[in-house]
Each structure stands twice: as structure tokens, then as C-alpha cells.
Structure 1
């Protein structure tokens, strides 16, 4: 029989360990914040830019509950009298978990939604092409990056009205805050500079040199020690010290179309999860030694990423699959997928978003937003398309009625070169090419390419249409060159 003092010591150690784990805290909160176990009161939201919707999912059973429709698909939103939102894209939420802030790039707006009722509280219109909106940790302000201009719009969280601006280099991409609310970190999408701003004074107090101009996403670790940012144009991720002098700690290659980063605190430590669009993977890194611990196949063009309130799950939006993938952070394996609206961008997991009731008010079914066709392009070798288990270019056709928005996630091309996405007469790419969209690859040889038209009917030979084939060809003048990637069969 064990001595009572030994038993007490063992129990005390166990309780202390359990309490420490219960206080792990998940992004964007501090590590001292208590974890919130997954429940039917939680909600997982995704901003979907081609259906102009916000999907609402119950993460307890990975069930889509419905959509909040903020606007219409194309071409309805082309009307000069159109009043809905266009290109629903960015997402943040209030510290009390009662309000969702949704940014629509095309209509220059932030829509504030009640998480319990799904009702729109207010819409604030800003400057050209806002990108992301996040609440300060004290819940008093909402900072919005106005990426098409050169400032952060600071909104009063009570009135939703703009009260001041923070001037930055042109193209601020996203901002996030230190868990203690002292600093705001603002990366740029047009300039190789991240600015650190005092939340109290709205003054720039530090600058970090980015390895490239295009940062789409930035996140602070819950322990308050590091800030991670992604560089989509060169396929890298940077880490810098969250405290003065804000020195760069690490910069490393992560893969083409490196999209978003977020963190999970688990029993094994604190880990960074990075979505890599060109590889259709999420990579997992330790935050202490930056070692790669897992590479997770998740689906086509992973984009936004966010942890559950207890860090047991990491959710990622699949932009070219109209779905969310749920990753078990204990095994780093996908354990569920959820169908959502078209081209999910930013996502947000809000614990206890619906404290009472079923939270189903105002939600609509997927409808046309759930209609998607998928293709892929492969390298042209010896006059025919090569076979590939992981084709370099995925293509999604998002139904808009008679038309589709075409989005190609192109990789495996020469860096910084001009190309064209086109339709060819024959499967091998021969014949006259009909251009759909010209584009320039980034330094990683990648690009996201968009077009619109009745493409599905054409490439599938439906409704009596002549069968055509999607290809990518060099474009160094008025006439495209020979295709280098062709539609896979």
C-alpha cells in the first residue's frame, strides 16, 4: 500500500498537469486562456468568394447547417443596381464570440453577423479592396486592411463606424494582434515590409523586412513569442520575434502557393499548420525548432486554416473542392470533410458561438453553390499528356447558372513567365487556341488564374457544343506558343 503523502503527491502532480493542459489556449487567444472542448454550441464559418456566402458548420459532427447568403452569383452581381456583397473573402470574430466580421473584397465592405442568430447587424463600406478584419483582443476596435490602398481602417466595435486610419505602405494584406493586445502585426501584399503597430497609440513601432512583397496571411503564436507570415509568391514562410526588436528568427521554403498559417497547442507542444495550395497539403512544424513533423494530403487548393477551441482539430478550407477538411491534431490525419459554398477563403472556428437555441435562423441550403466540376492539367510529354498521381494544375468550375467561374491553381511552370489558359481543339493541345485568361507566374512558378463562361459545357461536350480542351501555353506575344500542360483524361 502506498503512503498517503505519496498518493497525495501523485494526485497533485496529475491535477497540476491536467490544469496546465486545460489552460493551453488556442489562436488567436493567449496560451493562458482555457481550452473550450468541441460541442454543438461551436460553429465553423467559411467565407466563400464565388457564391458570395458564409457557410455555417456544426463541428461536433462536421455537419453543414446552411449558408448565410450575402450576395448573388455572377452575372446577377454585375447589375448597376446590385446591392449585395461581391467576393466574400476575409473573416474574423469578436473576443466575446458574439459577432462575425466578414470582408467582401469586390464590394469594399465588412459585414457584421450575429453568431447566435445569423442575422446581419451592420455593413460598413470602406476603401478599395479590403482584405481581412480582426478585433483587438479587448474587443473595442476592429482593424481592417484596405489592401487596394495604403491604410488600416480602425472601426469602433460598438458603432461599426470608421474612427481613424493607420497609414502603411501600399497594399496591407492582413493584420493580427499579440495575445496580450499590445501590438498589431500588419504584413503587406504589395511591399516587402511588415509593420508592427502599438494598439494603444496606433503608431508604427517596428518594421520587419519580408523576403518578398506578397504576404496573404499572418498569425501570432498563443504563447506570445513568435509571429509567422506566409509569402505566397515565392512559397516561403517567415517567423519573427513578437517582441522588440522584432528580429527575424527563421525563413524557409514551404511550397508553391503557400497560403495560410495557424497554430494548435496540444499535449505534444505548440505546432504551426501551413496550407500549401500547389501541393494540396498542410505541413506541420514545431514552433520551437521549426522541424517538419507531418505532411498531410487534404484536397485541392487548401486555403484558410483555423484550430478548434481545444486544439484537437485543425480545419482547412479547400478552395478548389468546395469543402472543409478536419484534421485530428493528435494523428495529423484528415478525419472528416464538409461540403460548403464556392471557393472557401478565410475560415474561423468560434467556440460557444450559439449559447442557446439551435442557431438555424436565416440559413439557406447549398443550392447552386454546391455544384462543382473538377478537372486537372498535366505536362505535355511526347505529344500527349503525362500521367500523374499529383497533377500540377487543378481546375475548378464553379456553377453560376449557365456560366461557370473557372479557377486554375497552376503550378509546375517556369518562374516569372507569361502564360495563357486557353481552349484547344484537340486533347493534345494542337489546333487553334482560344485564350481565356493571360497570367504571369510568380517566382515559384505558380499562379491562380480565373475566367468566366460556359466552360463546363465546352470541355465536356454537352448540349451539342463542340468539345474543347483546357491547356496552358506560353504567351510571349499576340500568338500563344505550344501548350506545356493539357487537360488530363
Structure 2
């Protein structure tokens, strides 16, 4: 560990009293006080949006992260995970001779070392750090959510008028098909499911930041990582688990980990068993048979209910969602059908003074959406009744095609939805991928506020359109969020 990083941590600790509500996570400690501003409410945006609030969307085909300012509902910036235009020579360019490559050609260009298939994303407990997976490149990237940049990028030695000023970090290599990352509740570890294998990579977040260089390391130190130096123990362990693990989510107290799969109809529950420093010593508690709930064996997403009592599992090919007890770990309380060919992706909870619901994003595209265009829908499940009585009580068009990721603001009255497909010709945002914003102050009657076209990443050689949105997270840096 270098002295500059130590100095940065000491500076943060001296000023920690300025942020009494926020845990001193390894990322916050590594960044110093300037990187974690106290959330200030944006007066022009009303009381439910803070000035620091941002929505982050991973775009799988463009390998970018679109960042939306929720106060204006516009794309503020696009984070570049590609390695294009780091050199002026043609093999490094995105656009050569005026030709924009197809997606397949793009990621197989000679000398490309950027992200392939940007997919899962999650914030750490205090919202200062994001983790996102490159499924095809088998790695994980850490994103500074305050400054909205990739951790570990360095100054580009080839920089010039027609090249990018930074050289992209290659992230941390993990294993085959990393799908979804999840931080432990104390923020010390990042658990990443390797969907192409039967194991979970458990990373030490502090060491990962050190390996990537953080803010304290010099360019030379960062460039030398992995080139002859002894590797730091970034990956604490590979944890054997179900075949094809899709995602881990933790219980509210952080003592249990729930693991779902897209290859076997099973749910594994693991005791985290933290030591005195908060690092895990995992032990298998039980494996639950889900063949009755998920015959196709394809469960890609799960999330904990706000009160911490239930884990909800999305069965995409079974067109259903299951509710599992956390108190009696693994007991299935209910399985709720969502309709033929609904194809649920992600789920999100909204609990406020006017209702308690679960929203399910449906990949199916139906006719008759906003402005008469084809659109996906959200299924609305009323959670004010016991699990056995819960059912779909309504559907609402999302205003985009093939709905995927969704996340709410801390006040539970705004909801954002990502989409995989572009909008159709003749529609207001034809040819663009859009994010939709909803007013969910009345959860049973969500109202579409706007479609947000995601635009493009402007590279020196041309524009790379943001497309095929997957994960979406709403982040308020410096405030405990859904993973806290």
C-alpha cells in the first residue's frame, strides 16, 4: 500500500465527523473527503431529489454506462468502458474511413481491450462506488459514482487532438461470464456470480481499489500492476456454489447470502459467518429445490423486500415470481403468475404512504403503448395483503421496448426503467434506446413522466450509440441505500 493512499485515508478519517450518517466504507476511506459530498436537496427539483442523485444504466451492446441527472431527466454524461481511440492508428479506432462497425465487429477489433457485454451493476452501501461486470471480457469494473469515472484509468501516453485523454483500466479478471455483482452489507466485500461456472468470486473491496490504483497511486505504480509484481490478494476466495449462479443478494442483517441460478432450479442459502473484521467465512446452510416454481430453471434476478422479511425471485421462463422467507430461510411463501410470455426481468419495491407494491419489468412487447407505439409493461403486485393472496392487480406501459432494469429513489416516489430494444420508426425517439421515468407516489397508479433518450458516447473518431440497456441503479452518494 503506497504512502499517498495512506495519507488520503487519514485525511478522510479526520473529517469523518462531517458525515455521521454514512459508514466509513473502504471506498470512502480511499477517496478522501472531497469525493463524498453531503447530499443537498435540489430546490428546483422538489424535496425528493437531491442535487447529487444520478441514475446509472449499463448498456450491453455499446459497453457504456449512461448517467442520468434525475433533476432534469437528461443524460448528463456517458462513462466509456471501451478502449477505442486510445491511439490514432486505424486498429485502435472505433470509426475508420467513415465506417461504423457492427457490435460483433466492434468488440473483436484488433487491439481492443475494453469491456465486452457490460451487464450487472450495483452500488455499494453508501452509494459512492459502483461495480459493473463485463460478461464477455470476464472482468469487473469499479466506478466512482461521485465523479462518474472508471477507477484505475490512467493518463493516455498516446493522447493527442484525435485520441482519448485516458487509457481504460482493464478492470479485475474474475472468471467465466461474471453476471451480477453484490456488495456485502458492510461494504467490505464484493460477491460476483460467475454464471459460466459454478462458483462465486469474493473480492476484498479495499484491495481491489489498491490494485486498480485508486486516487493515491501514481501512473507508474498503476501501470506496473500485474506485470511482474506479486499480486495483491484482491480475490479473497472462490466459493463453490450452484451451477450457473446468476446473482447473490444478502439478508438485511448481512448474515445470509441467497444464491439463484439460471441452469438449475435451486436456491442456495449461505451463512456469511463474518469474522471480527467483517470478512466472510462462508458456510452452506441449505439448498432449496425450486423445480415446482421454476421448471425451466432460469432465475436471473432477486431482491430483498424493504422490511427484510422476504426474498423475491424472478423466474423469467416460467413467467412467475416467487416469494421466499428469510426468517425461515428458503421456505417458499408464494409463487405469483405474471401472464403468458410475460418474461419478467427485474423487480423493485415501492412502499410509501399510499401503498405497498412490487413492480416487475416484463420483456414482452405489446401493442398499444404510449403514442400508439409497441411497448413493454410493468406488472403491479399489491403487497398490502398476505403473500398467499398477492397477485398482479394491474399493468402499465413502460414507454419502451423490452423492459429490464428498474430502481426507485430513496423517497419511493420516483421509478426509472431501462429497456433493451431501440424505439421504432415513427416514434418520438426512433432509433434510440430510452429510459422511462415514473411518478409512483401512488404506487398502484404509476404515471409515466417522460422518456429519456440515451443518446451516444462521443468518441474522437465518431459517435457510439448507447444501446441495449440492462441494469439500472438510482444512486444518492453519501447516503445509505438498498445494499446497506
TM-score past 0.5 threshold: yes
Q: 2:402 aligns with which of 301, 304, 307?
A: 301
Matches of 1:245 and 1:94 in 2, distance apart? Answer: 24
How many residues of Structure 1 are paired with residues of Structure 2 in the alignment? Answer: 322
1:74, distance to aligned residue in structure 2 (A): 4.1
1:223, distance to aligned residue in structure 2 (A): 0.2
Matches of 1:37 and 1:167 in 2, distance apart? Answer: 42
Q: 1:199 — aligned with what?
A: 272
Alignment of 1:52-451 (within 5 A): 52-71=63-82, 73-122=103-152, 123-160=171-208, 161-200=234-273, 201-210=281-290, 211-212=294-295, 213-255=297-339, 256=341, 257-279=343-365, 280-287=376-383, 288-289=385-386, 290-298=390-398, 299-321=400-422, 322-329=433-440, 330=442, 331-340=445-454, 341-352=466-477
1:61, distance to aligned residue in structure 2 (A): 2.0
State the secondary structure of the residue aligned to 2:421: coil
Identify unmatched segments of 5+ residues in structure 2.
1-40, 42-46, 85-102, 153-170, 209-233, 274-280, 366-375, 423-432, 455-465, 480-484
Give yes or no for contact 1:166–1:203 (8 Å, CA) kept in 2. Answer: no
1:80, distance to aligned residue in structure 2 (A): 4.9
Matches of 1:245 and 1:195 in 2, distance apart? Answer: 10
- Could you tell me the TM-score, scaled by structure 2's length? 0.64
1:83-140 alpha-carbon deviations (Å, 9 max, x no partner): 1001001101111211110111010111001111122214211110000001111111
1:144, distance to aligned residue in structure 2 (A): 0.2
Structure with a larger share of its residues in strand: 1
Give yes or no for contact 1:306–1:348 (8 Å, CA) kept in 2. Answer: yes
Give yes or no for contact 1:153–1:165 (8 Å, CA) kept in 2. Answer: yes
1:268, distance to aligned residue in structure 2 (A): 2.6
Bigger radius of gyration? 1
Q: RMSD of the alignment, in Å?
A: 2.1
1:207, distance to aligned residue in structure 2 (A): 2.4
Matches of 1:128 and 1:180 in 2, distance apart? Answer: 30
Give yes or no for contact 1:206–1:244 (8 Å, CA) kept in 2. Answer: no
1:330-385 alpha-carbon deviations (Å, 9 max, x no partner): 2312112211220100111111369xxxxxxxxxxxxxxxxxxxxxxxxxxxxxxx
Matches of 2:186 and 2:434 in 1, distance apart? Answer: 32
Q: Does 1:44 align with 2:55?
A: yes
Give yes or no for contact 1:42–1:353 (8 Å, CA) kept in 2. Answer: no
1:76, distance to aligned residue in structure 2 (A): 2.9
1:236-262 alpha-carbon deviations (Å, 9 max, x no partner): 111111122421011122142211111
- Could you tell me the TM-score, scaled by structure 1's length? 0.63
1:372-410 alpha-carbon deviations (Å, 9 max, x no partner): xxxxxxxxxxxxxxxxxxxxxxxxxxxxxxxxxxxxxxx
1:128-158 alpha-carbon deviations (Å, 9 max, x no partner): 0000001111111100000000011110011
1:305, distance to aligned residue in structure 2 (A): 1.1
Structure with the larger RCO, 1 or 2 (CA within 8 Å, 6+ apart): 2
Matches of 2:316 and 2:392 in 1, distance apart? Answer: 19
Matches of 2:74 and 2:253 in 1, distance apart? Answer: 34
Give yes or no for contact 2:267–2:289 (8 Å, CA) kept in 1. Answer: yes
Q: 2:164 — aligned with what?
A: none
1:270, distance to aligned residue in structure 2 (A): 2.7
Matches of 1:209 and 1:339 in 2, distance apart? Answer: 42
1:209, distance to aligned residue in structure 2 (A): 2.3
Give yes or no for contact 1:144–1:152 (8 Å, CA) kept in 2. Answer: yes
Matches of 1:317 and 1:281 in 2, distance apart? Answer: 12
Matches of 1:316 and 1:242 in 2, distance apart? Answer: 27
